[in-house]
Structure 1
Amino acid sequence: MASAGSSFPGSTNSLSVIGPQYCTPYPIDLRIVKKVMTISDGNFVVTDSAGNILFKVKGVLLTFIHQRRHLLDAAGIPIVTLQSKAMTAHCRWQAFRGESNDPNNLMFSAKTSSILFVKTKLHVFLAHNTKEDVCDFRVEGSWLERSCKIYIGESSTVIAEMHKKHTLQSILVGKDNYMVTVHPNIDYAFIVALIVILDEINHTGQQS
């Protein structure tokens, strides 16, 4: 099971997966806007509560069963590549550093907890957790209601939670808005990556 200050780089008070620069000593509210009416599906913009752009997500269609997403920082530099893994019993995504898909640059993987999807449940394993006996993080909740919480391992410790936000603009221009509150000292880039994976699983019909 993952724990801040032991399995993660950075200070003893932070929980960093992608990078300690994405950990803040205070809660951070993120607004994730999915542009669903675009030629390239799977594009997102992530801002803070003041409207400052923090990340962008670009989708790349490889095949119908193999997807790839790039998480870019505000300057447009790729920091994470998210890629689905085909031909597995469980829906599985892998996250690599930068634009790589080299196993040596694997940061974490995520898979649905069962083949039958009654509700949203995602297990997340850091790269060094090769046995995958116990997950390092898990996501539970209702994707239909956009009400999900992210926990450390199998514990009751919540590190982030999301809910859906409807606005008149989102209805008119075809955008899907998610509000995510990330707790203090938690890697918010990692949280965004998990939300993107969840959205893709839901979008492809692999998760109810």
Structure 2
Amino acid sequence: MALPAPAPSHTPLAHPVTVVGSQFMAPYPVELVIAEKMLTLKEGTFTVTDTQENIIFKVKGSIFSLHDRRTLLDPTDKPILSFRQKIMTMHRRWQIYRGESSDAKDLLFTVKKSSVIQFNTDLDVFLSGNTNEEVPDFKIKGSWFQRSCTIFLGDGTTAIAQMHAKNSASSVFLGKDAFRVTVFPNVDYALVVAFVVVLHEVNADRVGDD
């Protein structure tokens, strides 16, 4: 589905950022609305739409398993990414795989807390080829509770996406916690949505959090 082009407001990056796929990139800023379905038996269930409420992605979750699992789907329910949380880790490490796989050869990237104790959000992202994990490929910084976070390249200074609060009476009535994400030009918006899903999970208030 072609996304509508908003008015240009960000200069495209010198080098496109793509991890999930080049089909999830646009030469203009992409505005996405992510809404969590609060009144559901399945935890971590989201819809991702454009500003005209066309569904771009779905996120489905399950709490009835040993490992927390999430799946990013296209509008036809075809799996794009699978999320697996590693248990017994101090940094809330999530691993993201292509499709429905959990095979090491299909691992795309890993996300973890930069430090165990945090007052604000600070996550490091390592692509699968970055095995020593000394320098992250991406960083996520900000305040999840204020829905104000920025995603950077690993240098920590080049922004590629921003998250903003989007509260409305209708979203509360429908049982949805909605927020907006602006993905900068030539940036893989499926990748950014995956970051936001993990960001939500790391900040979720669950028993047994580190």
* TM-score of the superposed pair, with normalisation by structure 1: 0.90
Partner of 2:128: 127
In the alignment, the residues of structure 2 paired with residue 181 and residue 136 of structure 1 have an alpha-carbon distance, to the nearest angstrom, of 20
Structure 2 residue 118 is matched with structure 1 residue 117? yes
Root-mean-square deviation (Å): 1.4
Which amino acid in 2 is paired with 1:27?
Answer: P
Q: Choose from 9, 22, 25 the match for 1:23.
A: 25
Task: Specify whether residues 114 and 13 from structure 1 end up closer, same or farther in structure 2 by C-alpha distance, changes over 3 A only.
Answer: closer
Alignment partner, residue 45 of structure 2: 43
- How many Å apart are 1:169 and its aligned residue? 0.9
Query: Could you report, residue by residue, the CA deviation over 1:117-156 in whole angstroms, capped at 9, with x for unpaired residues?
Result: 2110000000000000000000000111010000000231
Amino acid at match of 1:46: V
Q: Give 1:130's aligned amino acid.
A: T
Greater mean alpha carbon deviation, residues 84-93 or residues 119-128: 84-93
Selected match of 1:59 from 58, 61, 66: 61
Cα-to-partner distance string for 1:157-197 (whole Å, 9 max, x where unaligned): 00000011111111112210010000000000000001011
Q: Aligned equivalents of 1:62 and 1:129: distance in 2?
A: 32
Structure 2: state its 5+ residue gaps.
1-13
CA distance in 1, matches of 2:137, 2:202: 20
- For residues 48-95 of structure 1, give each alpha carbon's deviation from its aligned partner in whole angstroms, at most 9, with x where no partner exists: 11211100000022447x200000011110010011011112110000
Within-5 A mapping of 1:50-199: 50-63=52-65, 66-199=67-200
Structure 2 counterpart of 1:15, one-letter code: V
Q: Measure, in 1, the Cα distance between the counterparts of 2:86 and 2:95.
A: 7
Superposed displacement of residue 202, structure 1: 1.3
Q: Which amino acid aligns with 2:34?
A: I
> Equivalents in 2 of 1:200, 1:88: separation in Å?
14
Q: Secondary structure at the match of 2:195?
A: helix
Separation in 2 of the partners of 1:93 and 1:204? 16
Q: Tell me the amino acid that sits aligned with residue 162 of structure 2.
A: E
CA distance in 1, matches of 2:186, 2:70: 25
Partner secondary structure for residue 63 of structure 2:
strand
One-letter amino acid matched to 1:76: D
